[in-house]
Amino acid sequence: MSNAKYKRYLKQSIPFGIIWLVFAVVYTFLEFGILGDSKYYPSTGNLYDFKSSFIHSCIAGFLSGFIQGWIELVWLRKLFINRALWVKVVVKSIFYVSFILIVLIIFSLLANSRLLKLGLFDPLVIRSLYVFMQEFSFWSVVIYLGLISFVALLFSEIREYVGMGVLYNFLLGKYHKPKQEIRIFMFLDMKASTTIAESIGHKQYFKLIKKYYADMTDAILETEGEIYQYVGDEIVVSWPERKGIQHNNCIRCFKKIKDAFEKNKQEYILEFGIAPDFKAGYHIGEVTIGEIGNIKKDIIYTGDILNTTARIQATCNTYKTKVLISEKLLLKLSKEKDFTHTKIGELELRGKKELVQLHSISF
């Protein structure tokens, strides 16, 4: 696993931990409200202390959530990537509840063995577990933990469908009122897409597009890009100015996508009979960002930069090059470049006096 992917999984697992932590806090206060000044748990007779319960529940809650997030991101998500949402939620929920049940049984056996000072599989220890499993308190814990894992899982699935950045922006209300930002855009388009669709058929073409976008995902995430739109065979990726310029992330994104497709070239040829190629245009400028819609909400960008970037990308055909970047963006990138550039021409925009200076990029 690459270092960048490890960091991404780490970052994406934290929200699972936070969800479990919130539920753990709620649980300890509900428990305190029920038990009050009682010194013992009624069902087990074990000592009860609010402070100790609060600390242990919070630590256990966060760690449990983090582990669930890690399992989900590293393993389970890949297994169910092509399944319907309801299948994912139901089957994964069953898995997590079963896992919780097994963990509770193991911990109960260990606790009883320690308290009774007997072997783990001593008949008296097993009997104590059996009695505990007949108590409502045991199953209430299982149900509550199952509910937490379901909520965390649902949050994860929604985040995957709408996009991590978009979901957080909606939850935090970041763009409830329109804001202006300087952002970098990359418009990336498949070459000869119409010809490809006609040659392999639209059903196969859809499968190709699905794989095409999937193979870009790691490159975009590893360079901190945000997918703004899928438009047919075109993908629009955006970066806040600082993130896009840092480590030349915006340009490295194209390089990583290019490397991924070179690595998977034979897979495309075997499955579809062709290996797709693509071109990209880059520009930087000010956009207005805000929420729109009543029935279906979305976060959109408006500004001349979007039209300009689209025009830059379309101009790749004119100069027979894969990547074109505006000089305005190029001047902001790091001097220690891992790419070379050549001034290749100018782009005249309707209604604009100033020409956009264009450079081609090669790696």
The domains of the chain, with CATH numbers, are 3-162 (no CATH), 177-362 (3.30.70.1230)
Query: H helices within the chain, ranges in order?
Result: 3-35, 50-71, 77-79, 85-116, 123-133, 136-162, 164-172, 193-200, 202-214, 217-222, 241-245, 249-263, 265-272, 304-314, 316-319, 327-330
Burial readout 42-78 (b: 16 or more C-beta within 10 A, e: otherwise): eebeeebeeeebbeebbeebbebbbbbbbbbbeebee
Residue 362: the pLDDT is 87
Single-letter amino acid, residue 252: R
Residue 106: the pLDDT is 80
Alpha-carbon gap, residue 250 to 241, rounded angstroms: 10
268: left (phi over 0), alpha (psi -120 to 50) or beta: alpha
Alpha-carbon gap, residue 254 to 281, rounded angstroms: 10
DSSP 166-228: HHHHHHHTTTSS-EEEEEEEEEEEETTHHHHHHHH-HHHHHHHHHHHHHTTHHHHHHTT-EEE
Read off the tokens for 8: 């991404």
Alpha-carbon gap, residue 283 to 264, rounded angstroms: 28
Residue 258: the pLDDT is 94
pTM (predicted TM-score) = 0.74
Q: Residue 46's pLDDT band (boundaries 50, 70, 90)?
A: low
Residue 123: the pLDDT is 84
The residues with which 287 forms a beta bridge, in sequence order, are 181
Residue 43: the pLDDT is 64
Q: Is a pLDDT exceeding 60 seen at residue 40?
A: yes
Measured in whole angstroms, the distance separating CA 94 from the mean position of its chain's CA atoms is 23
Contacts of 205 (CB under 8 A, 6+ apart): 196, 197
DSSP 261-281: HHHTHHHHHHHHSS---EEEE
Q: Is a pLDDT exceeding 60 seen at residue 63?
A: yes
User: 358: part of which helix (H) or strand (E)?
Assistant: strand 356-362
Q: Is a pLDDT exceeding 90 seen at residue 300?
A: no
Residue 164: the pLDDT is 62
Dump pLDDT digits (tens) for 129-175: 787 788 787 888 888 888 898 888 888 887 777 666 666 666 666 66
Measured in whole angstroms, the distance separating CA 127 from the mean position of its chain's CA atoms is 45
Dump pLDDT digits (tens) for 259-293: 999 999 999 999 999 999 999 999 999 999 888 87
Residue 327: the pLDDT is 94
